[in-house]
């Protein structure tokens, strides 16, 4: 019996010391892991944030460039027939969109979908304007029709997409 009490006098304090060391080491390791995660997130933010901002700038530029008024003014040539202008406008919109296709990885699905819808709405607008043209129509006639349809349009998908892109960028500031 004396032997058991002496053994408990040694084992119990040693067990408490080992348990205390275990808790201390686990607490230290947990704090170190959290510190490492914060460091990694900070490094990611420093790397990814400028890229996301650049992607936002590129999408805003895309949307501004495919706005019907800007698009027609940039592409129009007085010598173009309506068919030539039509082809050039569609080519320009598709090229702008394809050039910025990779930017979707930096934005939410909803924002990217609004950009895609805006691009499609411009293509639809140009197609609708072309339907009213005759084979001998000039490019200026198509340009006027596009401007008119653009003014009549109530739901502006480009402005909605621009708002979504800007709102998503503002999240980071």
pTM, 2 dp: 0.75
**Tokens describing residue 28:** 């230290």
Under 8 Å between Cβ of 72 and 143: yes
Whether 66 contacts 93, CB under 8 Å: yes
pLDDT at 99 over 90: yes
Rg over CA atoms, the chain? 32
**pLDDT surpasses 70 at 155:** no
Residue 59 has pLDDT above 80, yes or no: yes
What six digits make up the tokens of 151?
Answer: 């003014």
Work out the average pLDDT over 119-140: 93
Position 8 scores a pLDDT of 83
Q: Are 145 and 132 in contact (CB under 8 A)?
A: yes
Q: Is pLDDT at 173 greater than 80 in this prediction? A: no
Confidence of residue 3 (pLDDT cuts 50, 70, 90): confident
Rounded to an integer, the average pLDDT of 28-41 is 94
Number of H helices, E strands in the chain: 6, 0
pLDDT at 153: 81
Least confident of 12-26, 78-92, 102-116, 145-159: 145-159
């Amino acid at each position: 019996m004396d032997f058991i009490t002496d053994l408990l006098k040694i084992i119990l304090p040693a067990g408490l010391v080992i348990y205390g060391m275990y808790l201390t080491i686990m607490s230290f390791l947990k704090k170190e892991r959290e510190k490492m995660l914060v460091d990694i997130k900070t490094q990611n933010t420093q790397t990814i944030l400028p890229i996301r901002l650049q992607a936002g700038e590129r999408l805003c530029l895309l949307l501004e460039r495919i706005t019907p008024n800007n698009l027609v003014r940039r592409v129009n040539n007085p010598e173009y027939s309506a068919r030539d202008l039509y082809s050039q406008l569609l080519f320009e919109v598709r090229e702008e969109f394809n050039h910025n296709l990779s930017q979707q990885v930096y934005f939410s699905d909803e924002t990217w979908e609004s950009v895609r819808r805006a691009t499609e709405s411009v293509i639809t607008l140009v197609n609708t304007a072309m339907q009213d043209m005759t084979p001998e129509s000039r490019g200026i006639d198509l340009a006027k029709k596009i401007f008119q349809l653009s003014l009549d349009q109530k739901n502006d998908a480009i402005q909605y997409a621009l708002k979504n892109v800007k709102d998503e960028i503002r999240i980071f500031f």
